[in-house]
Amino acid sequence: MYTIKSYVFPETLEEADELLQRDARTSVILGGSCWLKLGRRRIARAIDLTRLGLDQIEVKDGCLELGACVTLHQLETHPAVTSRFDGILGNCVSHIVGVPFRNCATVGGSVFSRFGFSDLTCALLALDATVVLYRGGEVPLEAFMASPIAFNDILLKVRIKDDGRRAAYQSVRRSTTDFPTLAAAVSCLDGQWTVSVGARPARAVRCERAAACLNEGKGAAAAGQAAAGELTYGTDLRAGADYRKKLAAVLVRRAAEQCMEENKG
């Protein structure tokens, strides 16, 4: 549950930024507001971006661009998304809670908050995505994920090069609509692989050793073992660290094998 003292709809991004800078610590940027319901917070000023046209999915300048207010359900249904990267973006969010929730939850909320359980950030890392910030400009998602949350900036969009890479996503859940116990994503472009693992339960990260195994032709199983050994895994209510480590080996292997099959096709 959260409470809001002042709720505003800025007419421009400049106005939204100005409002945020007045008191970034007690102000919150809003899109669908779904993720706020997971915690408790008193918000002095809510700055709603839904009237600023950030809900668009576009293909331009050689990139697929996802506006911050694009909903997760749009990722499942928009032809520009489902026809690219073997549909990984739609596939990775298809189990999140339910369609009503995915009609409210947004790309911006999922990415900016850097949730450890986020399926979307795990998939985007494998696609070598970037984020576009109002003040910070364009930043690689990998660097953005590793940085602290900056309360004084606004996420505008996510950009992915429309380079035709193949991709695959795997996750394990305790129930169909639960958050993932562990997730893995891989992509391949011109023989060069990218691997990421999420829900460790810490933030999703890239797995360089696992990618190197694939690049060197050592195979999917070796990549899975490398991911299990390279990263740290934690314990929470969903699973223990040892179980997550074993899952990493399996899910990275499965995703790599799936991507190999897609490449053959």
| pLDDT value at residue 97 | 78
Q: Which long-range contacts (CB under 8 A, 24 or more apart) does 213-216 make?
A: 214/186, 214/188, 214/256, 215/191
pLDDT single digits (tens) 205-257: 999 999 999 999 999 999 999 999 999 999 998 999 999 999 999 999 999 99
Contact 216, 227 (CB under 8 A): no
Query: Distance (Å, rounded) from C-alpha 17 to C-alpha 24?
Result: 10
- The full DSSP string for 225-245 is HHHHHHS-----SS--HHHHH
- Decide which of 138 and 110 is more confident: 138
- pLDDT class of 102 with cuts at 50, 70, 90: confident
Terminal C-alpha separation, the chain: 48
* 70, pLDDT greater than 60: yes
Listed residue (73, 260, 72, 57) closest to 167, CA to CA: 260
Which residue has 């391949």 as its token pair? 188
Q: For residue 7, what pLDDT is reported?
A: 87
pLDDT (tens digit per residue) in 16-67: 999 999 887 777 877 655 566 555 667 788 898 989 999 999 999 999 999 9
Query: Could you give all domains of the chain from N- to C-terminal order, each with its CATH number?
Result: 2-48 (no CATH), 57-161 (3.30.465.10), 171-264 (3.30.390.50)
The pTM of this model reads: 0.93
Please say if the pLDDT value at position 196 is more than 60. Answer: yes
Q: What is the pLDDT of residues 144-172, one digit of tens each?
A: 999 988 888 999 999 999 999 999 999 99
What's residue 214's pLDDT?
97
